[in-house]
Amino acid sequence: MKRASIGWLYTLEDRLHPKKLNEYKDYTILHRMVIDLEEEIKGFRPYFVTQLGNSEKVARTSLVQLIQVSNAIYVYLTKISPSWNTGRFSHHIRNIYLHILSL
């Protein structure tokens, strides 16, 4: 697989920022984003295993990036909740964070 297989990790933190999620006008857009993220995560798993076999350094870099994004999402969920709690889809945003962290 190509390097693009982890490209989504570099933008994920920004895409899931509470301010960005509160800008959406329709729940279906949020739902579509979650489906797309699930697909990206499913594609990342075999990519990571392949990279682990090919280059431990590249695999480690990918894993560190994944941990950083996971930590950022956790901060969004726990410490920045006032910023997403005021939006129209606050309940859905909370569920998105929990769902993404569980994947």
- Is pLDDT larger for residue 90 or for residue 67? 67
The pair of structure tokens assigned to 52 is 């682990």
Contact 20, 87 (CB under 8 A): no
pLDDT in tens, 39-88: 888 888 888 888 888 988 988 888 898 899 999 999 988 888 776 677 67
**Does the predicted model carry a pTM greater than 0.85?**
no
Which amino acid is present at 29? I
Q: What is the pLDDT of residue 71?
A: 93
- Dist. CA 76–CA 56, nearest whole Å: 30
Domain layout of the chain by residue ranges:
3-102
Share of the chain above pLDDT 70, in %: 91
Rounded to the nearest 10°, the torsion over CA 103, 42, 69, 84 is -60
Task: Round the average pLDDT of the chain to a whole number and report it.
Answer: 84
